[in-house]
Amino acid sequence: MPNDATRHDWTLEEIEALLGLPFNDLIHRAQTVHRQHFDPNRVQVSTLLSIKTGACAEDCGYCAQSAKYNTDLEPERLLPLEDVVEAAEAARAKGATRFCMGAAWRNPTDKNLERVVEMVQAVRGIGMETCVTLGMLTERQAARLKAAGLNYYNHNLDTSPEFYGEVITTRTFQDRLETLKHVRAQGISVCSGGILGMGESRRDRASMLRELANLPTHPQSVPINLLVRIEGTPLHGAAPLDPFEFVRTVAAARILMPRSYVRLSAGRGEMSDEMQALCFLAGANSMFYGERLLTTGNAETDADERLFARLGLAFETDTDPEPAATA
């Protein structure tokens, strides 16, 4: 196995071998890497708000917001600026350092982007980092968000290139890579990860991690989502993922991208305290905080605080003053 220096040339076979290590060996290696780059007892917390809900033209098989599925989700227009600021202030009061805003678009119009720009500027004005997820971006739109002071852009790869067509047909895997390229070119930090438990194989999980780890610059934040099986979506009946397989993927992400924040994201509300503790041991050091993620539930904030107290973990309060340098 290779050493744990930052690399961008991982092979699929190397990552499969990593995922196949004895569990204790994999966790030990991930924890060792984690301690080289981070305080092991601090976790960065972000809060996520849906600023425009539902009626999305995409057909992502996991998503309640697709207009193609009957999930009883009520579409909502773009939120007023004052509602967004109020939510951001509440998140800051609870300890969140980054405020993430998600809009269910295939890609934003320039007119809608200007309204999001106002939100970014307002949230930065109260002293929080900002992140948005708006779908695909043009190069010019990425430049506009950079000028507004955006810190992070979230655009997940979701799964491997090989399995991608089983989940989404309305945009290609290459489309996602192009948006990440536009974001990196502007020096905006990248938040990009995937979803586990959609019926993919371990090889698919290795392939997705390879795509992320071999980007010109590692994503500054890597969300690892556990599928939330939403009634009415094609993936509602997907078989549950072995919890240890989820933890293995977190550990591999930590080893492959040693300086990235690895974030527990969707599905955390369905994880036991013990599973979350194993994820933190495996190198997860970021999470979404708050009782709702876009349209799905999340762990209760009181439960998170009790878990942190039991584990001796603390919220990370410092924020990065500037996005990462252009790749």
Residue 60: active-site member: yes
Residue 56: active-site member: yes
Q: Which of 29, 98, 115, 131 is catalytic?
A: 131
Q: Which of 29, 98, 100, 248 is catalytic?
A: 100
Q: Which of 254, 263, 268, 279 is catalytic?
A: 263
Q: Which of 29, 63, 171, 279 is catalytic?
A: 63
Residue with tokens 């980007």: 215
Cα(299)–Cα(187) distance, rounded to whole angstroms?
32
Q: Which of 29, 56, 205, 248 is catalytic?
A: 56
Cα angle 251, 253, 259; round to 5: 110
Rg (CA), the chain: 18
Token pair for residue 309? 């107290």
String of b and e for 15-27 (b: at least 16 CB within 10 Å)? bbebbebeeeebb
Residue 191: active-site member: yes
Cα angle 242, 295, 160; round to 5: 45
Token pair for residue 59? 């057909």
| Pick from 323, 325, 327: nearest CA to 148 | 323
Q: Which of 98, 115, 171, 191 is catalytic?
A: 191
Burial class (CB in 10 A: 0-12, 13-18, 19+), 4: middle
Q: What is the pairing mode between strands 152-154 and 129-133?
A: parallel
Token pair for residue 109? 């119009």
Helix (H), strand (E) at residue 132? strand 129-133
Classify 158 as helix, strand or coil: strand
Ranges of H-type helices in the chain: 12-19, 23-37, 81-93, 110-125, 139-148, 173-185, 202-213, 243-256, 273-281, 301-311
Q: Which of 29, 60, 184, 210 is catalytic?
A: 60
User: Active-site residue numbers?
Assistant: 56, 60, 63, 100, 131, 191, 263
